[in-house]
Every structure is written in structure tokens, then in C-alpha cells.
Chain A
Amino acid sequence: MTKRRVIPGFGISMGFTITYMSAVILIPLAVLFLKAAGVGWAEWRVLLGSPRVIAATRLTFGLSAAAAGVSVLLGLLVTWVLVRYRFPGRRLLDSMVDLPFALPTAVAGITLTAIYGKTGWIGSHIAHTAAWVRDTWHPAGWLGEQVASWADFGAVYSPLGIFIALTFIGFPFVVRTLQPVMEDLGHEIEEAAATLGAGRFTVFRRVILPLLVPALVTGFTLAFARAIGEYGSVIFISGNLPMKTEVLPLLIVSQLEQFNYQAAAVIAAGMLTISFILLFVINLLQRRLDWQNR
């Protein structure tokens, strides 16, 4: 404790850090787990093992991962355009990226439902195309079911609708984590690689991409974490059908509506545990990547 630090007042700042973390994160989470611990193991198993919860878990985590993955691709492209090119309206485009952060999620959900629904601008085309696919190729099984639903309702009230909403809310995270890294990149290394005989694709794959990967992983993690907990926009676009388009946060809310606080806490605790493990693994992975890049 004798070593002098750049910023004085370690004790006070640490105290506030602990207080803040406790008040905002640790205490609410502890209360949640305490509430969940109020029921026995058998009930945990019944609650978390019910087919509906399992179906919702698959849907929530699967679609969140898919949406975060697509957000990474889209985000990479958008960031590249924003950072590397100069064009009129660039700043406007740049600030528009943040809109999904600022928009109340319910508004986003209702708007997306209107646009991608059967009567909406984009949804009507999707419904039209899906109807054609259905009547021409008669796809069977899961895909057939999806195509039939798209033909009836457009992109909404199906897993695709949830996916669209999750991509919408997730993609700004990727852009905003990627942007500063890409801005720092500079043209020099690309030029150096080019003088050494690397083609365009090789430069991108071997030089630029490795430098961006840590930021991409962070962006993915943020978008993924946000998507898992998303409720406001999803419930409007998903249709909320048990076993089909029901997400975990909705199951938690429906338990609350029945004054079933403990069951809600159990599902939430289960969900948090999976999320925590996934995020932890991603973090570990990122450390390895960072280390490899050094």
C-alpha cells in the first residue's frame, strides 16, 4: 500500500467501485438467486426441464447467436464503409447507427412488425416470394413450415421475425466496438503487405482481419448478450407461440403475471447461468486470440 499511484485516493475510489457494483449488479443478482434457491432441486428440474422452457432456451440462444453472427458481418461492412470512405452524408449515416440504442425497444418491435408484416413494404414482397416458393417447390419439414408461415404473415410471427429484431438491436454494438480499432489501423501495413506481393484478398485475410478479430469478438459478445435478454421488441414480432416462437424472457414475464415470483426467478437464474458460462468462454477465447496476435 505504500506505492504511489498516478491517481490518488485508491481507497475511496475502490470503495465507490464496490458500493456501485454491489448496488447495481451484485445485490440484485444475489436476491435473484436467493429467491430461486427457495424452491427445491426437484422443482428446479421440473421447471427448467419442461419442454416449453427447453424449446424457448434453444430458440433464444440459437437465434441470439445467429443474429450476433450476422451483426458481425453487417457491422464489419458498415464500419469499413464509414471509416475508409469519404462521401457526403457520412456523418449522418454514422449517427444513424446509434438509433437502435436510443429507440425504445417496443417502438422498434412495432415498427419492424409493420414493415415486415404481410401488409408492410418489405413483408409483402417476402410473403409473395414465399408463396411462390411454397407453390413451386413444396418444401417439406421444418423449412416447409417456415415457408408456409412467411407466405401467410410475411417475415413476422416466426423465428425469422425474432432474428430480424435481434439483428436490429445487436448490430450497433459491432460497429461501435470495431470503429476505433479500424480507425487506428492506417494504410501503411496494407501498403507494406502489397509491396511484398500480397493480393487484395490476402491483405484482407492475413493482415487486416487478424487485427480486427478481437474487436469483432467483443462486438459479437455484446450483441449476443443483448439479444438473449431482449424482450420489448421481440414480443411484438415473434407471435409468442409456445414451443415455436416463445423466447425465454417472455416465459419469465408470464410466470410473473401469475404471481409466480419463484418460478420466474428459477428460469431467470438458469438463463443467467448459461449466459455467464457462454460469455466467460468467449472471454477466454478472446484472451487467447489477443495473446496469439502479440
Chain B
Amino acid sequence: MKASLPIIALTASLAFVAACRKSAPAAGATLLNVSYDPTREFYADINVAFKKQWLADHGGTLEVRQSHGGSGKQARSVIDGLEADVVTLALAGDIDALHKEADLLSADWQAKLPDNSAPYTSTIVFVVRKGNPKAFKDWSDLGQPGVQVITPNPKTSGGARWNYLAAWAWAEKSYAKDETKILDYMTRLFKNVPVLATGARGSTTTFAQGKIGDVLLSWENEAWLIDKEFPGQTEVVYPSISILAEPPVAVVEKNAAKHGTTAAAAAYLKFLYTDEAQDLAGKHFFRPRNKEIAAKYAAKLPALPMVTIDGTFGGWTKAQATHFADGGTFDRIYSAR
């Protein structure tokens, strides 16, 4: 009979583990917004404003919790069970993954809010050292020998994918879609990259704090944030062409339904399109969708020609497969070195 004791102990332990699984929290008036890195300060302000609005409209208090990290990593956390009510990520591909990998929202999520579900936009710009000593003007300068370019790894960073595609878009235009020449330019560009950080914030730290590199490819809002943090040390350079980054937002339908927060989550995202929120976006160096408010910030965030993911690259799924999947153009650049 003694031999059965281990089995009893095992069963007891498993039963204990099973019992623990049932205690999922039933959050009443709490929203969890899972977002990406550079939106930290922006959403802190948004949440304060939204709470006020919610109190005025519904008379109840509402708590919004935030989670920040690399966009891809955040999407993976939600897929793996982080119970986000809304996601506000860096690229549509990451929200698509929530549908594809875990069916947490419907396939047509991007059509549910105006402007491709992106209430604000951003773009990719250059950050250079004070006085622009190496005279960076456009993308072609990044492929010259003797300069150092800082950009994160497109395999691990959402921001880096925008950087990569912006450079590609310029090359495609300049070399009349000749893929050999485009690849040659991209290879020269990445030969000048001494460090591939895993995330956008890592690259910013390398450039601003570690003083490595001559030019940093960066989100526009992050570029102005560096200017605020390290005043007088850097300058922002706008290239001749860049890419329109549309960081999308969505309600994670399955989670919201489970938490009973569907209405609150929808109201939260709708709030991002109000004048008040659009103004906050501009304040935090995101480009507001509202034309009048955008005009107010046009001095800091000037108009420039921008390509779009859908127009130039055929959408995220295609861009991902062509450029960043195993054996894509990014891998080819590195095997050519």
C-alpha cells in the first residue's frame, strides 16, 4: 500500500493547482490598457482626463490601469493571458495577432473606429548631435561610409520595423523599385549600425546616454522627448520622405465581455478622438487626426511626404512576411555582409 502514497500526494497537489485556477478576478469598474513604450506619459494624462469625463457622464468612478513595454511583447502577453480590456499598440500587425493567435477580437477590428482605428499618428525622423556635425539631410546620408546609425532590431522591436520600412520606402522611390539597388542601400545602411538594441527605448538610451552613434532613427514623439530630456544636445532632422505610422487601438472584445467592461472600453477609445484628447496627443508630440488641432502643432510637427503601410507595402501581414520573417529582406542583408 505504501507505493500508493506518492500517487496520493501527486493527485492532491494537482487538485490544489486546479482549485487555484478558478479565482479569476472580476474587476468591476477597472480598465486595463496594454500599450507600448513611448506612450507612457501620454496615457497617464489621458486617463486623468477620461476619468473626469466618465464621472460627469455616468456618475461613477472608473479606474484605468496601464501596462507598457515593447509592442510585440505586449501583444504576446495579451495572447498568453494578460487580461487587457483595450490595447493601444505600435502597429496593426500586433493587434492582428490577437485575432489570429487567440481569437480575442474579430478580424474586422480596424474598421470599428475612424481613421483605421488610429486616433493619432506619428512618423520616423532623424535625431542628430547638436549642430548636425555630419550634416545629415536625408536617407542617402545614412548609407555613406564613416557614419554610425542607431536603430533597434526589427525582429524584436515594432519601432524598428517602421524605421526599416521608412528607409526602404525612400530607397524604392530613389532607385525606381530596382530591388538589387534597394538591397544594396539597405546593406550599406545596416553596415553602419554598430548596435541593434531589442527595443526603441534601448536605442534611445544608447544614443542619448551612451553617446554612441551619429544619428538615431526614432519615433517623432520620442525624438522630441529626447530634446526635452537632454536639452541642447540633439537636433531633430526631417528627411525628404518618411512613413505614416498609425498606432492603432482596439477593444479586446473577449476580455471586455468577460469583465463586463465593453461599454467603458469603447467609451475610452472613443474619448481618444475628442478635442481634449487630440490636444493631449499633440502636447505629447503625436500627430492629432483632428485637422484644426493638428494645425496648432504644425510648427513642431511639420507636414512631410509620407508613405503608408497599406499603400506601399500592401499591409502589415505582407510587409512582415517580405521583410522581417525568417529569410526576409532583413535576414538577407545580414547574410550578405
- Which residues of A pack against B, CB within 8 Å? 1, 10-12, 14-16, 18-19, 22-23, 50-52, 110, 113-114, 117-119, 149, 152-153, 157, 235-236, 239-243, 250, 253-254, 256-260, 263
Contact = CB atoms under 8 A, between A and B. Distances in A.
Q: B-side binding surface: helix, strand, loop or mixed?
A: helix
Contacts of B14: 19
Interface in B179-215: 193-198, 202, 205, 209-212
Contacts of B205: 110
Contact of B212 (A16, A117, A263): A117
23 contacts: A10-B2, A11-B9, A15-B5, A15-B9, A15-B10, A16-B9, A18-B9, A19-B10, A22-B10, A23-B17, A50-B326, A52-B334, A118-B211, A118-B212, A157-B194, A239-B196, A240-B197, A250-B198, A254-B156, A257-B72, A257-B156, A258-B324, A263-B326
A11 B3 CA distance: 7
Q: A-side binding surface: helix, strand, loop or mixed?
A: helix
Contacts of A250: 156, 198
A256 B76 contact: yes
B199 to A, nearest CB: 10
B337 interface: yes
A242 B337 CA distance: 10
Interface of B: 2-10, 13-14, 17, 70, 72-73, 75-76, 79, 97, 100-101, 153, 155-156, 193-198, 202, 205, 209-212, 320, 324-326, 331, 334-335, 337
Nearest to B2: A11
A41 to B, nearest CB: 17
Q: Which 5 A-B residue pairings sit nearest by Cβ, starting from the closest?
A: A15-B9, A11-B5, A15-B6, A254-B155, A242-B334
Given A18-B10, A157-B194, A257 B212 contact: no
A51 B6 contact: no
Contacts of B211: 118-119
Contacts of A11: 2-6, 9
B183 to A, nearest CB: 16
Residue of B5, B9, B13, B75 contacting most chain A CB atoms (<10 Å): B9
A241 B76 CA distance: 24
A243 B334 contact: yes
B117 to A, nearest CB: 20
A236 B202 contact: yes
Contacts of A50: 326
A243 B331 CA distance: 11
Contact of B335 (A16, A51, A241, A257): A51
Contact of A19 (B3, B9, B101, B331): B9
A142 B175 CA distance: 35
A239 B213 CA distance: 12
A242 to B, nearest CB: 4
A23 B335 CA distance: 41
Nearest to B13: A19
Contact of B196 (A10, A15, A240, A257): A240
A253 B156 contact: yes
A51 B156 CA distance: 19
A241 B196 contact: yes
A270 to B, nearest CB: 15
A236 B202 CA distance: 8
Contacts of B10: 15, 18-19, 22
Contact of A258 (B17, B202, B209, B325): B325
Given A15-B6, A241-B196, A259-B76, 4 more contacts: A14-B5, A14-B6, A114-B210, A153-B212
Contact of B155 (A10, A235, A258): A258
A23 B196 contact: no
B324 A113 contact: no
A223 to B, nearest CB: 25
Nearest to A15: B9
Given A117-B212, A240-B198, A254 B153 contact: yes
A264 B196 CA distance: 20
A114 B206 CA distance: 10
Nearest to B73: A257
B188 to A, nearest CB: 15
A4 to B, nearest CB: 13
A257 B5 contact: no
B150 to A, nearest CB: 11
Contacts of B209: 114
A158 B198 CA distance: 16
